[in-house]
Structure 1
Amino acid sequence: MCDDHFNSEAKKIQDNRSPELKKVIGFLKKIPQKGYLFGHHDDTLYGIGWEGDEGRSDVKSVCGDYPSMISFDLGHIELGNEKSLDNVAFSKIHREILNQDKRGGIVTLSWHLDNPLTGKDAWDVSSNKVVSSILPGGENHSKFKLWIGRLCDFINSLKDENGKKIAVIFRPWHEHTGSWFWWGKKLCTADEYKALWRMTYEMMRERGVDNVAFAYSPGSEYNNTDEYFERYPGDDIIDILGVDTYQFDKEVYKKELDKALNILKQAGEEHKKPIALTETGFEAIPDSTWWTEVLMPIINRYPISYMVVWRNAREKVNHYYAPYPGQKSADNFISFYNDKKTLFLNDINKKIHK
């Protein structure tokens, strides 16, 4: 009976999706037959030694091609601010989302929203009452409803030159299996976390958001599919199953990444969902062969739809995850780019969208 309920709900949600969104989800399901999309966070907003240059990208400067997926963060949209938590005008983020769509690429969005209880940032874990405070009946429920409204206004405004809404992937409440965000494992119960997801989803649907595929992305702390799904809000909400994991120690990373993707593959098969490496990378990429000798041998074994490396910060020294011209791993990145399984923008336009 439970399966029937979720199948019925999933069908209802499927019917409420925009045609553009249905195409993107179908595309993500088929992509592993060809390879996987390469993504980079904030790719066209700024990079090493530059900011705001029209059409510029560190990735493109190295390999001559844009990422097929670009990730952007909407932190501080909830406050009504003109600029994001990374000090980028939301008007610029809006424009770059439209540009990526026009090029034929895909966009994914994260949301490092402030702590609604304390007024501090997303990393403020001083209270385990934050999630409960924004659920129905909580002291900050009305505030969160306002915040969601601002988020929805932005997403609903993403339209192409023909006036059609642009389909995007939305990945809120990520890395919840750790406890470095106020929605993390030690900061709320499993039921509260699931209720947070469902409330978010329902509020967004009420505001007319029908152009978002929802991605679920814990960290790699899980050891089996039961642990992976411990706080899962449901198949009727989630479209994509992901995982976030970064390299600090090479051997530990290789072992963790392989374990995480093996379990994720099982999870995707069980729930009939596309899977993705939603965040990964090696800060400052000091290993000159990291792309083809560490990352690729593992991810090439799994049917992921996409992978995303984090941003190239222009305001923090050595906080970058994609190469720039002259960077130690740049030549190796070109080898990674040339591999038949890595799909960049030209690949999907020539091989997939044709």
Structure 2
Amino acid sequence: MKNTFLKIAFLSLSVLSLAGCSSDKDSQEEVIVNPPAETDPLTTQNVTSYMVDANATKETIALFYNLKKLAKTKVAIGQQDAFNSYYQDNGGESDIKKNTGYDPALLGSDFIFITDKNNTNQPDNWFYQQEQKTISDVKAAYAKGIINTFSWHLREPNKEDSFYAADMTTEQKNTAFKSILPGGTNHEWYKKKLDKIASVVLSLKGSNGELIPIIFRPFHEFDGSWFWWGANFCTPEDYKTAYQFTVDYLKNTKGVHNILYAFSPDNSYTTAANYLSRYPGDKYVDVLGMDNYGDFDNQGQAGANRANSKLIMIAALASDKVKIAALTETGYQVTATKPPVTDWFSNYLYGAINNIQGFDTILSISYVMFWNNTKDGYYVPNGTVSNTADFKTFATKPKSALLNSLPKMYELPK
């Protein structure tokens, strides 16, 4: 690791000790109060040397470059299923736009219904209709200049009923992930799922016929064990093998060159060594991410500090590896029985994705994505609820970016 990273790591440990999350030994680590400014080797000429896909489309190359550069000054703000999921089913514009007047900078989608066993590829099929809606949303987002990202809640390979480990037998949990690896009993099944993803991603085209770039984060939140690909159900080597196969198959076998690949555990990792314990390698990852709900679940400043220290750790790795850093999922869901937290967006979240100690050269996060709103709860206030002003304040702060302050993401600067 570079010297810059080592110094940042000391600072990260110090922040953890302030939040009450580190050992006595950690609290004795040296605090570097004035770390050097990071250097950025990325240029418009050498972008692909830091990317997974050396043959990526020019729009995908531009997205990688612009996301990396964006983090120096802005954090793109988006939401999962923003064009279809509304609080109290109040349709129309996204809830972000209802609140702020501007579209989100990032749209989250999912391959879940696209690869569902019940998708017949027929116009009258509900799952196929969801596939078409997803494709339409991605195209509309791209036309506006919005960034598109995909998760994949893949149902387990036995009955394909659920993606939650709690719905599986002990035998299924212990064998499911290994079965999709090369040579496994469900490997061909898994390849067919990837075939469907490839066909859809290759159908995503802009008005000039160009392929639309997406960010894809397979097997997310793998450090927890609520999904069947979680840490209790596969070894680090199993996980790396599956991730690497996924990338190689889409890129090399299926010829898909409009994907950036994201690595996104949940929030359990506090050190670089642990974070990288299941990392498939720089040749397979474009985005270093983290999903984090727990540190923001009404945890106050201590929770924000914990989240901040983890993001500093990820951003330092991204600086060292010349990758993109992101808060790939987060939020605090407000419901009828769970009221808003005062200044949750403008204070706790904004502080966590910036620098509680004021070192702008350390924390460079490219985007943050909230989970989707529902009829009975919301992660983003839609303009009619009590914390509307808090979100609007957050969205208009200097480092926040909705679509109106997002640069052209699909063109390299001249």
TM score, norm. by length of structure 2: 0.77
Which of 332, 338, 357 aligns to 1:282? It is 332
1:159 aligns with 2:196: no
Q: Output the CA distance in 1 between the equivalents of 2:410 and 2:115.
A: 36
Aligned to 2:39: none
Task: Give the 5 Å matches for 1:49-64.
Answer: 49-50=88-89, 53=92, 56-64=93-101
Shift of 1:160: 0.6
1:185 aligns with 2:231: yes
Identity of aligned residues (%): 31
Which of 230, 242, 257 aligns to 2:277? It is 230
The answer on whether the counterparts of 1:45 and 1:93 sit within 8 Å (CA) in structure 2 is no
Q: Output the CA distance in 1 between the equivalents of 2:291 and 2:241.
A: 22
Which of 324, 346, 354 aligns to 2:404? It is 346
Change (3 A) 1:76 1:92: closer
Change (3 A) 1:261 1:11: closer
Q: Output the CA distance in 2 between the equivalents of 1:349 and 1:272.
A: 20
Aligned to 1:295: 349
Q: What 5-or-longer segments of structure 2 have no aligned partner?
A: 1-45, 120-124, 356-362
Change (3 A) 1:170 1:235: same
Higher gyration radius (CA): 2
Which of 130, 135, 141 aligns to 1:94? It is 135
The answer on whether the counterparts of 1:214 and 1:240 sit within 8 Å (CA) in structure 2 is yes
Aligned to 2:43: none
**Aligned length, in residue pairs:** 340
The answer on whether the counterparts of 1:72 and 1:93 sit within 8 Å (CA) in structure 2 is yes
Aligned to 1:79: 116
Aligned to 1:66: 103
Aligned to 1:174: 220
Change (3 A) 1:255 1:135: same
Shift of 1:311: 0.3
Task: Give the 5 Å matches for 1:109-258.
Answer: 109-125=150-166, 126=168, 127-205=173-251, 206-246=253-293, 247-251=296-300, 253-258=303-308
Q: Output the CA distance in 1 between the equivalents of 2:232 and 2:249.
A: 25
Aligned to 2:385: 327
Q: Output the CA distance in 2 between the equivalents of 1:203 and 1:326.
A: 46
Amino acid at match of 1:165: L
Change (3 A) 1:202 1:244: same
Q: Output the CA distance in 2 between the equivalents of 1:351 and 1:71.
A: 16
1:263 aligns with 2:300: no
Change (3 A) 1:330 1:11: closer
Q: Output the CA distance in 1 between the equivalents of 2:409 and 2:153.
A: 34
Change (3 A) 1:28 1:296: same
Q: Output the CA distance in 1 between the equivalents of 2:177 and 2:49.
A: 26
Secondary structure (helix, strand or coil) at the match of 2:228 reads coil
Secondary structure (helix, strand or coil) at the match of 1:213 reads strand
Which of 66, 69, 80 aligns to 1:27? It is 66
RMSD: 2.3
Change (3 A) 1:352 1:330: farther
